[in-house]
Amino acid sequence: DIEMTQSPSSLSASVGDRVTITCRASQTVGSHLNWYMQQPGKPPKLLMYSASSLQTGVPSRFSGTGSGTDFTLTIDSLQPEDFATYYCQQSYTTPRTFGQGTKLEI
């Protein structure tokens, strides 16, 4: 299986800050990397697919970069609704593994 490692595991920030979350794959996944946001008690929501493509309806303050094994998710100008847990997922091969999550707290 491809192991996905996110850092940091948790992150404290304030409204208006810019934050970056990283995701590293144990082997190349090309650009087959997706980012999700999950708020407590809700299913995850797709933010980015193919590493850098913004899902329809997702605000443009979210952006993603990377290819191969190293990826980043950046959130510009944090809004109150952005405080949640973020997961990366590789869709290069099965099983489609997720990172362990990054909890973004105020």
Which residue in 89, 104, 105, 106 binds another protein (CB under 8 A)? 89
Query: Can you tell me which of 11, 46, 54, 58 binds another protein, judged by CB under 8 A?
Result: 46
Q: Binding of another protein at residue 96 (CB under 8 A)?
A: yes
Q: What are the counts of helices (DSSP H) followed by strands (DSSP E) for the chain?
A: 0, 10
Q: Decide if residue 64 touches another protein (CB under 8 A).
A: no
CB-based contacts of 41: which residues, under 8 Å, 6+ apart?
A: none
| Contact status, residue 46 vs residue 91, Cβ threshold 8 Å | no
Interface residues with another protein (CB under 8 A) are 1, 32, 34, 36, 43-46, 49-50, 55, 87, 89, 91-92, 94-101
